Amino acid sequence: MLIRFGYQITINCWSPTPVVTELSVEDARHKHFVVPEVFTSEPATESSTYVDVFGNTCRRFIAPSGDFTLRADAVIEDLSPLDPIAPAAIQHPVHDLPDDTLLYLMGSRYCETDKLSQIAWNLFGHIAPGWGRVQAICDWVNGHIAFDYQDARATRTAYDAYEERKGVCRDYAHLAVAFCRCMNIPARYINGYLGDIGVPERNPMDFSAWLEVYLGDRWWTFDARNNHMMPRLGRIVVARGRDAADVAMLSSFGPHLLNHFQVWCFEVESATLDDPIRGL
């Protein structure tokens, strides 16, 4: 399967402003590119990349004053099946976990394990450790939160989502991540592309959020928003972190306005970028 994906974002800065973005696809997927992901800007400006502490590729540049457009477009080959399911994957005791997973047991900016710990044990403590416990968490979060694209809020935390019972994909992911950590299961937040491939179109296209949990000596994909009731194809990981604060798409070190935001991710028959993207 070939997937075309990309974005076009226009911001307006009052004066030249340093910016860092996390919009590049993870390095592990570069070998699958059929048409490489190329970053461009208008007006053209110099930029450089670095790798952050979570292994994500970040791009830094100085955005000029006025309107400034960032764009990328690419085609990738995806040979993966539906999200894998491994009911026999075990949950490791904390003392047996690898050192580099322990960070993902801790509370973080949007995942308040201190507020949610007792709630999590009350809800999931009776469920046997392992895959089934994680799936039970995702099932519960999926049923507890009502999706509301119009009510997205950048400051909503996992505890807020628990209390308010509404949110978008990042809120589903934050609450599931927090509950997993409360149950001593390492969990990390993922930002990436997830088109409506093989399922009905439901909402305006945006970047998506899901989670990965550490079971049975590896990381596994879970998605509390879409859940196992609607398995998905074509996930393309952009960045991983403790929560959304670690994978911010665009961080400006000065004021800016967002004037345009468009994301695309859809199946194509051939590796070409010749066809125009709707709305551009």
Which among 25, 33, 24, 31 has a CA at the least distance from the CA of 3? 33
Give the pLDDT of residue 227. Answer: 75
Give per-residue pLDDT as tens, 64-82: 999 999 999 999 998 876 7
Residues of the chain with pLDDT under 50: none
**CATH number, residue 205:** 3.10.620.30
Which among 66, 67, 48, 68 has a CA at the least distance from the CA of 58? 48
Give the pLDDT of residue 274. Answer: 75
Give the pLDDT of residue 141. Answer: 97
Q: Which two tokens stand for residue 140?
A: 């519960």
- Determine how β-strand 166-167 pairs with β-strand 146-147: parallel
**In the chain, how many domains are there?**
2
Sign of the CA dihedral with 126 first, then 131, 132, and 138 last = positive
Degrees to nearest 5, angle at CA 97 with 94 and 102:
80
Asked if 4 and 73 touch (Cβ cutoff 8 Å), the reply is yes
Give the pLDDT of residue 79. Answer: 80
Q: Is residue 176 part of a domain?
A: yes
Give per-residue pLDDT as tens, 30-60: 999 999 999 999 999 999 999 999 999 999 9
Q: Is residue 200 part of a domain?
A: yes
Give the pLDDT of residue 271. Answer: 81
**CATH number, residue 256:** 2.60.40.2250
Domain range enclosing 198: 94-246
Q: Is residue 274 part of a domain?
A: no
Q: Is residue 84 part of a domain?
A: no
Q: What is the pTM of this model?
A: 0.94
Q: Is residue 62 part of a domain?
A: yes
The dihedrals phi and psi of 98, each to the nearest 5 degrees, come to -60, 150
